[in-house]
């Protein structure tokens, strides 16, 4: 690859053209797809989709673990002119129902176990369902393969659902250009090459997780998707497949540093990347001790703009708490309350990585996607992050604090209101307040304060039925009355202060 990234976007499915025929592209549990296989199967899957859903721009949802379906669907849907809606496999029926209804999905593909967990009415009228194995069997028999897309790179190709600080998950609209340029940018600043092997442990429903595939494929390398149960599973896979690239979030890094790493897992490692929360100085030091020859890339991002900054690995030992500087194709401005450039203020992301807004949500789009500051070289629409940062004299950025109440636990962005709504819906809580408290292992530990009947076992059992594991509260505290602030609203600050 050239030293300067090519800023010209292409349709996303052109990633299938980046590798050599005989080289491995996707290493699954029972089968390895070469680059020639990848091209063939994406083309056939796209042809199958086009027959099932002839309407351009229609949404197709997938809800499954990592495998051929979830890894190839982003490219196949793009080639067929459809919009892919990947659903986190950890989500349960209530969240899935919302995503299907909100996106207006025409088709849901999942395995039998996940379909069995749904109830009547969870799949909207007009949304057909297809079992994963049956779908892949039909794709394998597909005679024709759809040719490369001729789509405008500005067209919508994916909607990724992410939690906001209030309300249910919202869909971030991403174009071919957003995803293509994200792959180009990351592949370049990580210095990836055709002989790289990436272990994909992150959920493919996240932008960080999807980019494991896209940036590796842009470089012509291969991906090993893994749904792990324990940290030892990750280490064993690193050794077995001679992994060169590992992307993770802080809670997983904490677990991995507590394990013994054999030489065959350490020696091939060229780079490690972190996002979804800041690395602590202790964690940086431990990772550097285990992997002295690997390059460590701390990164900051948000789904609305994909990725904003990364820290040069050469600076990690000296500045372990820095967010670094802008990635290629991103313009990062720090502005004060008047929208003027400042040394400390809100991080504003401008440029071609900025998403198209939230799906069918003009109000929340207007709150986050605003005109770029006058100082922007790109202009147009920018993402106002809600995060306060400081820019040092050397240009490096440092995180100061968040403006909203988002909980980041185990690498997941969690809406407090979604937990609160679920608690009240059980009938056991009259009022509920959820928030995160800093936790070394999880990032944030979820605390839930409730006013109600006080049957904690029943409440926890109900929450386990309705919410995924990463949304389960670590602490439940019962109160006789919620504290109120001068405005008559629940004093969340006081509750959080008491918990801390």
The enclosing domain of 461 has a CATH number of: 3.30.300.30
Using alpha carbons, list the distances in angstroms from residue 105 to 164, 374, 430, 451: 21, 38, 34, 38
- The stretch 408-428 carries a mean pLDDT of 87
Domain that holds residue 436: 407-499
- Is it the case that residue 164 has pLDDT exceeding 60? no
Query: Is residue 495 located within the same domain as residue 359?
Result: no
- Read out DSSP for 400-456? EEESS--EEETTEEE-HHHHHHHHHHTTSEEEEEEEEEEETTTEEEEEEEEEES--H
Length of the chain: 500
How many CB atoms are closer than 10 A to CB 280?
Answer: 15
Measured CA angle at 253 (ends 231, 466), to 5 deg: 70
pLDDT at position 391, please?
97
SS3 state at 159: strand
Flag whether 260 is in a domain: yes
- Return all residues near 278 (Cβ < 8 A) that are at least 6 apart: 250, 298, 321, 323, 399
Flag whether 397 is in a domain: no
- Is it the case that residue 222 has pLDDT exceeding 60? yes
Most confident of 163-167, 192-196, 427-431: 192-196
Domain of 374: which CATH number? 3.40.50.12780
Query: Is residue 114 located within the same domain as residue 234?
Result: yes
Using alpha carbons, list the distances in angstroms from residue 378 to 298, 331, 382, 385: 26, 8, 9, 17
> Over the stretch 33-64, which tens digit does the pLDDT of each residue have?
999 999 999 999 999 999 999 999 999 999 99
> Over the stretch 440-484, which tens digit does the pLDDT of each residue have?
888 899 999 998 877 999 999 999 999 999 999 999 999 998 887
pLDDT band at 169 (very low <50, low <70, confident <90, very high): confident
pLDDT band at 220 (very low <50, low <70, confident <90, very high): very high
Give CA torsion, residues 396, 399, 403, 409, to 10 deg: 140
Query: Is residue 68 located within the same domain as residue 19?
Result: yes
Query: Is residue 71 located within the same domain as residue 195?
Result: yes
- The stretch 375-391 carries a mean pLDDT of 95
Flag whether 166 is in a domain: yes
Query: Is residue 373 located within the same domain as residue 494?
Result: no
Q: What is the pTM for the complete model shown?
A: 0.89
- The stretch 368-376 carries a mean pLDDT of 97
> Over the stretch 276-295, which tens digit does the pLDDT of each residue have?
888 888 899 999 999 999 99
Query: Is residue 303 located within the same domain as residue 447?
Result: no
pLDDT band at 3 (very low <50, low <70, confident <90, very high): confident
- The stretch 353-368 carries a mean pLDDT of 96
Q: How far apart are CA 58 and CA 81, in angstroms?
A: 8
Query: Is residue 290 located within the same domain as residue 211?
Result: yes
Query: Is residue 315 located within the same domain as residue 443?
Result: no
Query: Is residue 344 located within the same domain as residue 426?
Result: no
Query: Is residue 26 located within the same domain as residue 155?
Result: yes
- Is it the case that residue 106 has pLDDT exceeding 80? yes
**Which of 367, 391, 415 is the C-terminal boundary of a domain?**
391
Flag whether 7 is in a domain: no
Flag whether 450 is in a domain: yes
| Assigned token pair, 36 | 């020639």
476 phi and psi angles, rounded to 5 deg:
-120, 125
| Assigned token pair, 350 | 């401008």
pLDDT at position 487, please?
53
> Over the stretch 190-210, which tens digit does the pLDDT of each residue have?
999 999 999 999 999 999 999
Q: How far apart are CA 9 and CA 157, in angstroms?
A: 13
- The number of domains in the chain is 2
């Amino acid at each position: 690859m050239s030293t300067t990234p090519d800023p010209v976007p292409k349709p996303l499915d052109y990633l299938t053209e980046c590798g050599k025929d005989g080289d491995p592209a996707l290493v699954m549990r029972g089968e390895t797809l070469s680059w020639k296989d990848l091209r063939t199967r994406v083309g056939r899957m796209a042809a199958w989709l086009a027959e099932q859903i002839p309407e351009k721009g229609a949404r197709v949802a997938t809800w499954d673990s990592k495998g051929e379906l979830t890894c190839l669907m982003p490219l196949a849907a793009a080639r067929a002119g459809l919009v892919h809606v990947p659903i986190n496999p950890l989500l349960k029926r209530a969240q899935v129902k919302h995503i299907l209804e909100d996106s207006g999905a025409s088709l849901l593909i999942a395995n039998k176990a996940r379909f069995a967990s749904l109830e009547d009415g969870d799949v909207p009228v007009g949304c057909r369902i297809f079992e994963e194995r049956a779908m892949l069997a039909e794709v394998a028999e597909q005679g024709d393969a759809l040719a490369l897309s001729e789509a405008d790179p500005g067209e919508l190709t994916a909607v990724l659902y992410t939690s906001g600080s209030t309300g249910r998950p919202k869909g971030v609209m991403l174009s071919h250009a957003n995803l293509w340029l994200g792959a180009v940018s990351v592949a370049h600043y990580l210095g990836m090459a055709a002989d790289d092997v990436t272990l994909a442990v992150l959920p493919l429903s996240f932008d960080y997780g999807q980019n494991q595939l896209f940036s590796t494929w842009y470089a012509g390398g291969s991906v090993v998707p893994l749904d792990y149960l324990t940290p030892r599973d990750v280490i064993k896979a690193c050794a077995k497949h001679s992994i060169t690239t590992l992307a993770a979030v802080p809670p997983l890094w904490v677990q991995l540093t507590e394990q013994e790493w054999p030489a065959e897992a350490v020696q091939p490692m060229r780079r490690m990347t972190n996002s979804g929360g800041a690395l602590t100085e202790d964690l940086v030091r431990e990772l550097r001790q285990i992997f002295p020859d690997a390059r460590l890339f701390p990164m900051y991002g948000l789904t609305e703009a994909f990725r904003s900054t990364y820290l040069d690995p050469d600076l990690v030992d000296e500045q372990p708490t820095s967010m670094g500087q802008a990635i290629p194709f991103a313009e990062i401005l720090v502005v004060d309350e008047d929208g003027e450039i400042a040394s400390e203020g809100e991080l504003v992301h401008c440029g071609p990585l900025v998403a198209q807004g939230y799906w069918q949500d003009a109000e929340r789009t207007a709150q986050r996607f605003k005109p770029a500051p006058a100082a922007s070289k790109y202009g147009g629409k920018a993402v106002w992050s809600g995060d306060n940062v400081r820019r040092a004299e050397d240009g490096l950025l440092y995180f100061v604090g968040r403006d909203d109440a988002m909980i980041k636990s185990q690498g997941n962005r969690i809406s407090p209101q979604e937990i609160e709504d679920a608690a009240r819906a059980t009938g056991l809580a009259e009022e509920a307040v959820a928030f995160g408290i800093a936790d070394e292992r999880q990032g944030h530990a979820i605390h839930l304060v409730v006013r109600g009947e006080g049957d904690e076992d029943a409440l926890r059992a109900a929450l386990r039925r309705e919410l995924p594991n990463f949304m389960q509260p670590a602490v439940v505290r019962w109160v006789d009355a919620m504290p109120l602030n001068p405005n008559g609203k629940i004093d969340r600050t006081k509750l959080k202060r008491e918990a801390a």
